[in-house]
Structure 1
Amino acid sequence: MCAVAPKSMYKSPPPTKLRSDGAECWAARRVGSHGTGEKLRQRRCTRGGAARRWRRREAAAAAVRARKRGAAAAPAVGSGSEKARRGSGGGCRERLAGERWYDGLHKGYDKEHRARDIENNGELTPMRMRGHSAHDWPCDERYEPYFERLGLLPFVLQFKRHAPSINHGAMTALIDRWRPETHSFHLSCGEMTVTLEDMAMIGGLPINGEALTGTTVSANWRDRVGQLTGVFPEPPEEGERDSEKVLHHWLRGERGVVCPPDTNEVVVQQHARAYMWYLLTRVVFPDCTSNKAQWIFLDLLSDWDRKYSWGSGALAYLYRQLDEACRRKKGTSGMGGFVWCLQVWMWERMPVGRPEKNKTPPEGWVPHDGRYGEDPWRFPTVAYCWEMANVYTGSSVA
């Protein structure tokens, strides 16, 4: 027979309270052989990080009491001192004199952010957006069944066309409000950001499937390019670094022609892969140079029936480009990523300074070429409405 212990033996200590001076009293007073709460707290904070946390809390509480007595616990901003320390419940935060400090910001990002120069009346020039199209490479209808198997046919049908002119000034003003801490634009009306839905509705990219991640074997990558596209890149010259990239103009010169009509299926697939590689690395995944195609994206096109979440990869790549662009301050700075989609997103949601939107046809959305009936793969994306938009850049009219 088991004896049941009285409930009084299992009483939990009182909940944590905050003292009137703002310091956290995490060791409440307890009754028993352990003594008072102050002694228990001192015993718990005799080693390691606990001791440091206890000392910071005591320093913060002393600073609060000093301010209440009218003493200056820390020099005011702009007083000329090198550093000022301000206490908070969780510890001390360092602040450089003469600079404003905003809660929740990463110090490394905030120090290099373009907004700091704007706040200090610095002069910044508009960045160059690396957004391009693939209208200079004809797309053969024989490629479309393979693109449909990849789930990228809506993307190809829209972005093989001419891209609207980019308003570099407006895009730069938007990037100046990007915060890497939250991956969102901080505007006067609140926070906004690009989502997966935008990648699907504007870009026509699939958001279901495998993630664009993994290990890409770079050994003998030129041989793999030759197997997948039918053309072999030339090795780098002596002393040059092997970047695992090919120039766009080289790829367009080798494969940017209409596929011969009497070729077999293997050659058609090679032409299709080369075209898709060119389109993805020129429109969705361009770097700041925007003139090279990275090998890693061609390797993902080796299997036509393998479904990837291209929308997720494009969104993550765009976030990374924005994180880096908001800290670039040189006159020649630029930004890569899915710039075409970002500008359409800006026009759709921000009415200030945007061009006129093309009217939707009276009969509603129709396929691009009008020859395939109600095939959902051929319906335009949201970007189609802004295809012929006129953008006033300040210096010229596009």
Structure 2
Amino acid sequence: MVRTRRLGRALGRVIGRALGREDRHDSDDVPQRRRPTAFARRQREAAPIAKDEPVVAEDVHAQGAETGHDREVFPGGSRDPLVLTEYDDHVAVIVWNGEEHPELKLSSYDKKVHKFGKPTPEIEGLVAATVLSPLIACSVDTGDRGLISAFVEQWHKETSSFYLPVGELTITLDDVASLLHLPIIGAFHTFEPLHVDEVVLMLVELLEVSREEARAETTQCHGAYVRLSWLRDIYQRRCQAGHWTAVARAYLLHLLGCTLFANKSATHIHVVFLDTLCDLS
């Protein structure tokens, strides 16, 4: 194959001089600037350079291929695995390679919330004081699997962000206030890991169940979880007994398990969130 690119540029410069034009930009001697990867920049910054040692330009693309951070490892996505550490196991890689992946399972808690209904009048004041009442009406039942799947394929839990063609998109506290109508002021709450014995004690003190019942529930759930159906049963029993503080806690924990802290089980809620409902005032 004959390479005519240099010949064409040379003829262009000769014709340009004949016409009185001077081409300063189209020259083979001008190095073309390549945008380095973040990995290559860190490698150059970390490498010490002696005072008398000449600086040699490097091919960052070749370096990325040698270190295994090129697109062959992360097809269609990030070249730098230092941020998205679990990208190679992400569904986006499966989609890019054209492989089959399990159908997305959508779990809607809308029916569970409406089945529970509004809080009984005796605890409306307690529920309203927690400012969590807007969550009762925030559940959405949608059948558009394509739309949700598109967002799932762009979500990365390492950074809690969507990586879209227009750039990185992160859910902010302003979004929480706009969509869920919850206040975004106040102190942050840190959830500490709980031992099963601590979970049993918390259920006994805050939901007023027996130790045997609490132990049986955690055993059935294989850990620090309770079933949403179990909470609805506790709610009914505490209403009959007139223990309204325990009624409010059972209702709110069920509400949190169907909205803010819903999980893939679609049937369980972690008991650690009950810790935030100790003092309803």
> Relative to structure 1, is the Cα distance of residues 113 and 60 closer, same or farther in structure 2, using a 3 angstrom cutoff?
farther
Match of 1:15 in 2: none
TM-score w.r.t. length of structure 2: 0.66
Aligned to 1:230: 208
Contact 1:147 1:153 survives alignment (8 Å):
yes
For the 8 Å contact 1:137–1:256, the answer to whether it is kept is no
1:2-49 CA distance string (max 9 Å, x none)? xxxxxxxxxxxxxxxxxx999xxxxxxxxxxxxxxxxxxxxxxxxxx9
* Map of 2:47 onto structure 1: 53
How much has 1:202 moved relative to structure 2?
Answer: 1.8
Pairing 1:247-258 to 2, within 5 Å after superposition: 247-256=227-236
User: Within 5 A, what are the aligned runs for 1:61-210?
Assistant: 61=56, 63-64=58-59, 74=62, 84-85=65-66, 93-95=67-69, 98-99=72-73, 100=75, 102-104=78-80, 106=83, 108-133=85-110, 134-138=113-117, 139-156=119-136, 158-159=137-138, 163-180=140-157, 182-210=159-187
Contact map agreement 1:183 1:193 (CA 8 A) in 2: yes
In 2, the alpha carbon distance for the partners of 1:294 and 1:221 equals 10
Distance 2:142 2:45 in 1: 60
**Cα contact 1:142–1:268 (8 A) shared by 2:** yes
Compared CA separation, residues 241 and 247, structure 1 to 2 (3 A): closer
DSSP 3-state at the match of 1:290: coil
How far apart in 1 are the matches of 2:45 and 2:141? 61
- What is the alpha-carbon distance in structure 2 between the residues aligned to residue 242 and residue 200 of structure 1? 35
Residues 84 and 159, structure 2, Cα contact 8 Å, conserved in 1: no
Matches of 2:98 and 2:115, distance apart in 1:
42
Cα deviation for residue 215 of structure 1 reads 3.4
- Gap regions ≥5 residues in structure 1: 1-19, 23-48, 68-72, 76-82, 86-92, 306-398
**Does the CA-based 8 Å contact 1:216-1:299 persist in structure 2?**
no
2:231 and 2:189 map into 1 onto residues whose CA distance is 23
Matches within 5 A, 1:314-353: none
2:261 matches 1:281: no
Task: Say if 2:168 is the partner of 1:212.
Answer: no
Per the TM alignment, residue 251 of structure 1 is displaced from its structure 2 partner at its CA by 2.1
Unaligned runs of 5+ in 2: 1-30, 34-42
**C-alpha displacement of 1:149:** 1.9
Question: 1:234 deviation in Å?
Answer: 4.0
Q: 1:149 to 1:59 in 2, by over 3 A?
A: farther
Query: Could you state the TM-score of these two structures normalised by the residue count of structure 1?
Result: 0.48
The one-letter amino acid paired with 2:270 is: Q
Q: Relative contact order (C-alpha < 8 Å, sep 6+): which is higher?
A: 1
C-alpha distance 150-258 of structure 1, shift in aligned 2 (>3 A) = same
Percent of aligned positions with the same letter in both sequences? 23
Give 1:214 shift: 4.6
Say if 1:143 and 1:163 are closer, same or farther in 2 by CA, change over 3 A.
farther
Deviation at 1:213, TM superposition (A): 0.4
Aligned length: 230
- Please tell me whether the aligned partners of residues 207 and 249 of structure 2 are also in contact (alpha carbons under 8 angstroms): yes
Query: 2:68 is paired with a residue of what secondary structure?
Result: strand
Q: Are the structure 2 counterparts of residues 145 and 52 from structure 1 closer, same or farther at C-alpha, using a change threshold of 3 Å?
A: closer
Is the contact between residue 221 and residue 227 of structure 2 (CA under 8 Å) also seen in structure 1? no
